[in-house]
Structure 1
């Protein structure tokens, strides 16, 4: 993709259908090379937490957003509400830590055991990763204490709530997810920042 606009136009075409070709979407995300001139108007930071900044609501079948991570910002461990999640690094680097789903008893509550880490990856500029709930849960971290990071996220279908998980007990809590900005403008909602 030559530009962010080209990427968005191709995503509209891809999501005309209800079928999601994960490999194809990953490839077109990878084909776009990060160009700060194109996305800097969406890059809005908060000094206390990472921000979710909506770029495009798609055709009702996907959300494309820029997440801005200040130094040492980290997400909670979370699921993706049965959605596909593609994440591309635009600036800096992030660490993705994946976890197994906690075991549940008959009451659908966790058994109080510490969550099990299954993988850890560092993502650098223009690299793309993919996760969905069948692959586990994850947490995303900016491990730098001095530099920010920016990532482009594609969720399909869009969702407005997910579960976050306590690493020590596996206990889950349903939480809303909101946007810090929409189309470059600040929203009235508080940024819950539980999912990325």
Structure 2
């Protein structure tokens, strides 16, 4: 399957990714589990409300939220965010469809909400569309799959081939500048399906995300959708993959690693609140 990469600065692409359990009263009823309990759909407005509450709880306790966050604070927040994203992806019946805009040429970022603490974005990927290798500055990056099948590949910086062909170098790249020569090497591949939740930060590595669905598999998904939902104006037709990403704090600049060279970009949005920009 071909990989699509588009250049530009604001093209809607990522030009480019528990020590103490939460109090029981902050867990929404829709996310309780048990042999005799069903889970009503968690709606996008409820998800946003619960995310705001989780972030406010850590801020009110005096913690700064970024990838250098206090470990105990991060563990609490991470547990809560993973729980909420998984719950939303597995119980929701599609209220995210209004944010899911696709583009034939490249994958796109559709903004759901941005505030001082985080941005929640629906990313849409047609088959073969893959991000370039990129970082996440000082932010946390959580993602879950809403539709389709996705693949995340993590990368680490390496020494130049002439010095050490397979040595993996650490560091978060904070001192790298556009134009610097940096070698990267794929170190981990994870296939993600609906409800799976992933996490990455610059302390863990760089990554790419992409949809590798074949045309035959996509045609099968579309036929299944037609059989299950009919052909009304509101019916959902799969076009590839859809992921929900949560970045905290919001990412203002990202670094791209391509052809052994670092560049820097401003992430753009293809739509905001379901409206094309």
1:88·1:151 contact (CA, 8 Å) conserved in 2?
A: yes
Instruction: Provide the C-alpha distance between the structure 2 equivalents of 1:35 and 1:145, rounded to a whole number of angstroms.
Output: 26
Partner of 1:54: 111
State the superposition RMSD in angstroms.
Answer: 2.0
Q: Where do 1:14-163 residues align within 5 Å?
A: 14-16=54-56, 17=59, 18-19=64-65, 20=74, 21-32=77-88, 33=90, 35-58=92-115, 60-103=116-159, 109-110=180-181, 113=183, 115-146=184-215, 147=218, 148-163=240-255
Task: Determine whether 1:9 maps to 2:56.
Answer: no
Q: Deviations over 1:23-74 (max 9, x none)?
A: 221222112225343110000000111110001114x110001000011000
Aligned residues: 181
Instruction: Provide the C-alpha distance between the structure 1 equivalents of 2:246 and 2:152, rounded to a whole number of angstroms.
Output: 16
- What's the secondary structure of 1:116's corresponding residue? strand
More helix by share: 2
* Counterpart pick for 2:265 among 175, 188, 193: 175
CA apart distance, 1:4:
2.1
CA apart distance, 1:134:
0.3
Question: Which 5+ residue runs of structure 1 have no aligned equivalent?
Answer: 188-196
Question: Which 5+ residue runs of structure 2 have no aligned equivalent?
Answer: 1-30, 32-41, 66-73, 160-172, 219-239
Instruction: Provide the C-alpha distance between the structure 2 equivalents of 1:54 and 1:122, rounded to a whole number of angstroms.
Output: 24
Cα pair distance change 1:4/1:70, threshold 3 Å:
same
2:176·2:262 contact (CA, 8 Å) conserved in 1?
A: no
1:160·1:178 contact (CA, 8 Å) conserved in 2?
A: no
2:149·2:193 contact (CA, 8 Å) conserved in 1?
A: yes
1:34·1:125 contact (CA, 8 Å) conserved in 2?
A: no
2:110·2:273 contact (CA, 8 Å) conserved in 1?
A: yes
Cα pair distance change 1:50/1:36, threshold 3 Å:
farther
More strand by share: 1
Instruction: Provide the C-alpha distance between the structure 2 equivalents of 1:107 and 1:6, rounded to a whole number of angstroms.
Output: 39
Cα pair distance change 1:36/1:160, threshold 3 Å:
farther
Q: Deviations over 1:5-31 (max 9, x none)?
A: 211100111122244422221222112
- Which of these two proteins has the greater Rg computed from alpha carbons? 2
Cα pair distance change 1:34/1:42, threshold 3 Å:
farther
Instruction: Provide the C-alpha distance between the structure 2 equivalents of 1:107 and 1:162, rounded to a whole number of angstroms.
Output: 11
Instruction: Provide the C-alpha distance between the structure 1 equivalents of 2:208 and 2:176, rounded to a whole number of angstroms.
Output: 25
Give the TM-score taking structure 2 as reference length.
Answer: 0.61
